[in-house]
Amino acid sequence: MALEKKDFDQIEQIVEKSATDLRKEIIDSGEKTKTELKKEISSSAEKTKIDLRKEINISAEKTKTELRKEIIDSAEKTKTELRKEIIDSAEKTKTEL
C-alpha cells in the first residue's frame, strides 16, 4: 500500500503540531523556570539580608558589652590608681610632717 499525498499532508500536520506544542512547552517551561529562579533569588537575598542583620545586631551587642566592660575595667583601674596615689601622697605628707 502506497502513501498518498493526503497521508503525507496529515503526517506533516501532525509533525508541525508536535513541533509547535513542543516549542510552546519549552517556552512555558523556560518562563516557569525563570519565575522560580527569580523567587528563589529573592528569597535567598531576603534570607541573607535577615542573616546579616542578625549578625550585625549580635556583633553590635557584643561590641557594646565589650566596651562597657572595658570602661568599667578602666574606671576600676583609675579608681585603684587614684586611691594608691592619695594614700602614697598622704603617707609622704605624713612622713614629711
| Mean pLDDT score of the chain | 90
d(CA 76, CA 74): 5
d(CA 22, CA 29): 10
User: pLDDT tens digits, residue range 41-87?
Assistant: 999 999 999 999 999 999 999 999 999 999 999 999 999 999 999 99
The dihedrals phi and psi of 65, each to the nearest 5 degrees, come to -65, -45
> How many helices and strands, by DSSP H and E, does the chain display?
1, 0
Q: Residue ranges per domain, the chain?
A: 36-97
pLDDT of residue 97: 79
